[in-house]
Amino acid sequence: MLTVALPKGELLKNSIHLLQSVGLDFSAFLDSGNRQLQIVDASGQAKGLLVRGQDVPVYVEYGQAQVGIIGYDVLREKQPQVAQLVDLHFGHCRMSVAVQASSPYKSPLDLPAHGRVASKYVNCAREYFQSLDLPVEIVPLYGSVELGPITGMSEAIVDLVSTGRTLRENGLVEITTLYESTARLIAHPLSYRLNTGNLHQLVEKLRSHILSTV
């Protein structure tokens, strides 16, 4: 039986609707009264695991799930050993550098050498500023990173931005975009090569559905 790792949070609803379009129904995960973290599709073809987004590639990399759905931002940050198969064209957002609107910084290169940049995405932030040859201190924050510049703890943040509303409401502006992110279908490399649980058929169904809707 094929096991699918599904992400809690904003990607879950679209992930479940997409899988329903190819005959796999994990909609019980959307029931507010449901507390199950593992359910079997009614057809008996597949099992779904409901996990924290950051953990989706971990379950896939270690083989507890043969396939999963997760944002490209998580893949860029964690760089797991998984096969990236399909861009699913939902969950659109971007990784950006943002500063206080009242600051003098109009581009990342305006930031002071050895200044501080707060981020949940420590590896992405470090890699980006290294590419600019600008030495900065990356401050790991896992809550509201917008508070970094507001409190003066950091000059800038690197964070995922969707509508930009949270930045605007907190007096921050984007000064550059590192990359765009969407949801991706990923697979355990060996499971994909061996076609475990008829994985190739599922991937081709999803590809065809995506091509017909974009």
Are both 114 and 95 inside the same structural domain? yes
Q: What tens digit of pLDDT does each residue of 69-93 get?
A: 999 999 999 999 999 999 999 999 9
Query: Tell me, what CATH number does 70's domain have?
Result: 3.40.190.10
pLDDT class of 43 with cuts at 50, 70, 90: confident
Number of domains in the chain: 2
Question: Residue 124 in contact with residue 72, Cβ under 8 Å?
Answer: no
Query: What percentage of the chain exceeds 90 in pLDDT?
Result: 92
Please tell me what DSSP assigns to residue 155: S
Are both 171 and 186 inside the same structural domain? no
Are both 84 and 120 inside the same structural domain? no
pLDDT class of 34 with cuts at 50, 70, 90: confident
Q: What tens digit of pLDDT does each residue of 104-144 get?
A: 999 999 999 999 999 999 999 999 999 999 999 999 999 99
Give the pLDDT confidence score for residue 18 in this predicted structure: 96
Give the pLDDT confidence score for residue 213 in this predicted structure: 84
Round to whole Å and give the CA distance between 45 and 29.
17
Are both 109 and 146 inside the same structural domain? yes
Are both 68 and 126 inside the same structural domain? no
Q: Which helix (H) or strand (E) holds 208?
A: helix 199-213
Are both 14 and 85 inside the same structural domain? yes
Task: Considering only CA atoms, give the Rg of the chain.
Answer: 19
Are both 58 and 129 inside the same structural domain? no
Are both 146 and 162 inside the same structural domain? yes
Are both 63 and 32 inside the same structural domain? yes
> By residue range, what is the domain housing residue 85?
1-89+181-210
Question: Residue 65 in contact with residue 49, Cβ under 8 Å?
Answer: yes
**Mean pLDDT score, 46-63:** 97
